[in-house]
Amino acid sequence: MGETRRQFLRATGASAVGLTGAVGVTAGQNDGVSLLLNWKPNGLHVPYYAAQARGYYEEQGVTLTGIESGQGSDFSAKQVGLGNVAFAVTSADQLLNVNTRGLSPRSVGVVMQRSPVVVFTTREAFGGAFTSVDQLAGKTVGTGPGMVRILTRLLLERRGVLPEVELVDSGFDTVQQLLAGQIDAAGGVFGDAVTASQRGNEVFSMPVADTIPSYGHVLAVNPGFAEQNPGTVRGFLRATARGSAWATDDPAEAVDALVEANPALSETADVERAKWAEMATEYVLSQAVRERGWGWSNADPWETMYRALGDADLLGGQLDPGSVWTNDYLDLDDEYVGEYAASVSPPGTVTTTTASGTTTWGGETTTASGTTTGGGN
């Protein structure tokens, strides 16, 4: 079974100071709340910066004191589980993981309705068009650690080509190794494929979620905080959904808000716009969002991820995957939650201007140099 909370805190080096912080955050939001991201701010975090810039959190009575850069989804899941932050962006896999290790953060909204993990390559590196996973037989595929590697491996296994693929660890330099010709294809997130296309390459990308239903980014809360501050949690979700809707309809201004809050991103603004454009159309929207509302969780993707982690021996014990998520804080009477799909107008295809290069998503072809195009959701 999973480690006890005390064992978990010892193993992760948490101190009495951390516990004091946990009590303070759980108690209430008198001094405001902060949002911990899963990684450094980028185009995948546009909704939060958009909502902050437009004053949507304030309108909901939520005092958002800051949006903090993260150190990975595992770190953010632990921090919200410990109660050191009220809200965190993390991933479905890491939320399941820490819940088997003595902590109990809970997902209250699915931001990415499918996993961002993709297998991608360039025409030059692959020696032609990449239109089927079966073409990876006899190739070298590099991935970084964690969920990207797990899902890439599972995809290859499901398609029956894993024994014929050389799967190597490319660390955090996957894009660079692909462009340098050190690997034939790569497992990464769709943002990596967008980055590769910005360098003048024709990129082909296969979403893992087309084969393996699984969630990507989720918004997690400390359960103690949520129980004592349900209005704050609902208000935070309403504001975030509205920020996402506004950013979908006005992506240029929304990314400007991201860059204004993070000036270092000014040099990669085009990349961030391309990332958000792809995320807004292909990952935020889903059939569940159209039928139920923004952020909605269904049981199947959680169960799929739980089984994948268990099969890879990456959990600390057993649990009911249904215990780590809830839809109870989603205000389905709110226009931007319950009617999210009707309130946004994403294009049928994602087309974003880039410096050069083209990207093909899911085997569909791009038609114009200087654009990145993906199929509609």
Q: What pLDDT does 220 receive?
A: 98
Confidence of residue 84 (pLDDT cuts 50, 70, 90): very high
Residue 2 has pLDDT above 50, yes or no: no
d(CA 82, CA 76): 10
Percent of the chain with pLDDT over 70: 84
Residue type, 53: A
Q: What is the DSSP letter of 365?
A: P
Residue 24 has pLDDT above 80, yes or no: no
Q: What is the DSSP letter of 263?
A: G
Q: What pLDDT does 367 receive?
A: 28
Residue 125's φ and ψ, nearest 5 degrees, are -70, -35
Residue 355 has pLDDT above 50, yes or no: no
- As beta bridge partners, residue 217 has 91
Burial code of 301-328, b = ≥16 C-beta within 10 A, e = fewer?
Answer: bbbbbbebbeeeeebbeebebeebbbbe
Mean pLDDT for the stretch of residues 307-329: 94
The model carries a pTM of: 0.83
Domains of the chain plus CATH, in order, are: 5-114+214-343 (3.40.190.10), 117-212+349-374 (3.40.190.10)
Instruction: HSE, CB side, 13 Å, CA atoms: give it for residue 222.
Output: 28
Which residue has better confidence, 35 or 359?
A: 35
Residue 377 has pLDDT above 50, yes or no: no
Q: What pLDDT does 239 receive?
A: 98
Q: What pLDDT does 5 receive?
A: 52
Q: What pLDDT does 345 receive?
A: 87
Q: What pLDDT does 172 receive?
A: 83
Per residue in 111-130, pLDDT tens?
Answer: 999 999 999 999 999 999 99
